[in-house]
């Protein structure tokens, strides 16, 4: 289990990259909101890809004793939200991500981009 929300967010981002997620970022919300510390945001290229990314994150974090407190959107597969309390993971399809623009909405947050190594 991760004691640091930053480490948990980074692990989720790396798991997304393993499944070839696109535009993977972590947003540091500490000091801006009280609901969570980090958002992890990424997108897939299709509904099947979105589901595969979300499943990989959920399975990978479960292996290190981190279980999602709440999951939403698995049916529609356009926006799947994995809530780990201090870290909230958003897996979008490209169109839905463009529509909601969470990075712009939380523009004061420090954003870290993640790419395949």
CA angle 79, 16, 3 (to 5 degrees): 100
d(Cα 32, Cα 85) in Å, to the nearest integer? 16
pLDDT tens for 18-74 read 999 999 999 999 999 889 999 999 999 999 999 999 999 999 999 999 999 999 998
Average pLDDT over the chain, rounded to an integer: 95
CA torsion sign, 32 to 97 to 23 to 18? positive
For residues 93-113, average pLDDT: 94
Domains in the chain: ranges and CATH:
19-106 (3.30.460.10)
CA distances from 91 to 43, 87, 88, 104 (A): 5, 13, 10, 16
């Amino acid at each position: 289990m991760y004691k640091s929300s930053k480490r948990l967010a980074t692990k989720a981002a790396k798991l997304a990259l393993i499944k070839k997620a696109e535009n993977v970022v972590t947003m540091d919300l500490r000091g801006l909101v009280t609901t969570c510390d980090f958002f992890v945001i990424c997108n897939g290229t299709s509904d099947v890809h979105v589901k595969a990314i979300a499943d990989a994150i959920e399975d990978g974090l479960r292996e290190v004793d981190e279980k999602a407190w709440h999951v939403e959107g698995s049916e529609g597969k356009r926006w799947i939200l994995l809530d780990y309390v201090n870290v909230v993971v958003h897996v979008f399809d490209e169109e839905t991500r463009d529509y909601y623009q969470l990075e712009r909405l939380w523009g004061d947050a420090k954003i870290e981009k993640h790419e395949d190594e």
